[in-house]
Structure 1
Amino acid sequence: MKLAPQSIPYRALQKVSGFVVVAFFVVNSNDWGLPLAIGVAGAMLLAAFSYETAYYRRFDYELTADTLDIASGVISRREREIPYRRIQNVDVSQSVIQRAIGIAAVDLETAGGSSTEGSIRFVTPDEATRIRREVQRRKSGSGDKRGAGAD
């Protein structure tokens, strides 16, 4: 399954937003600062948008019969299989901006780990709720294992 498509511009703008402070100083430092800042900002936005499109295409997750599989990474791939029996908590969260554009984050915490084992950021709120419910259902063992991988 894939991330929400609206995550592409959101993540690109998120990455480029730090450039605004630098651009402010460049614009105010000399006469050619504004055209330079606009050109560099455009190039950075294009690069960020291209990277985020590649990230969107390369991020995948799947709810299998026994594990939640997450594959991510543009340059180097990372593949994780998180067994449902190890998952202790599934946290769904949204910031105000994420709520406005319709995306949510799912964080998975496992037994014996002090940090989040896996994150599926930038899915739709409905998909985040579905992931949480499915993980809880499959963890409890109440699900039918024959049809569990058919999602």
Structure 2
Amino acid sequence: SPSRSSSPSFFSSPSSPSRSSSPNANPFSKNDDPVAPLLILTSPVDLDNENLTIFGQVTSVGLVPTEGQLSGVVEDSRLIMMNEIYTTHDIYGVDYDGDQQQDMGKDCVICLATPPDTMVLPCRHMCVCRDCGDVFRHQCEKCPICRAPILSLVQIVASGEELKK
């Protein structure tokens, strides 16, 4: 399986690194800074497998000076699966440890009884449970957190859990 990021995320449709007008620009950066990024590639290697399919993750880290030291800040992260590149995005409402963030609450914002496991797209707020999400998508067209239009709902299942029927 692909390497896991330390941040909860999902990936969007295949993409290629952005093209810039500057030949020295960082292809993973949002601007045209002529700074060489720190790129981290993580990928499992099975030297005995002749039909090796490449899975991996490329993370671009910017070095930011803080209090006399350099701190790494993730600028971009991409998954490589089956010769396609996918950009990852953070999920709002989930902490880096997989726990619910304090400001988002620990329960579904609709029923206030069940932990949220369903993410609203495109705003990426994970704020409703599966049951409320099924009802909510037919009754409302806006995210209950930011009021952005809802295009889709995605149920997030933690590794090892089975999908609910």
- Shorter-chain TM-score category? under 0.3
Give the number of the structure whose residues are more often helix, by fraction: 1
Give the number of the structure whose residues are more often strand, by fraction: 2
Greater RCO, CA 8 A, separation 6+: 1
What TM-score, normalized by structure 2, do the two folds share? 0.25
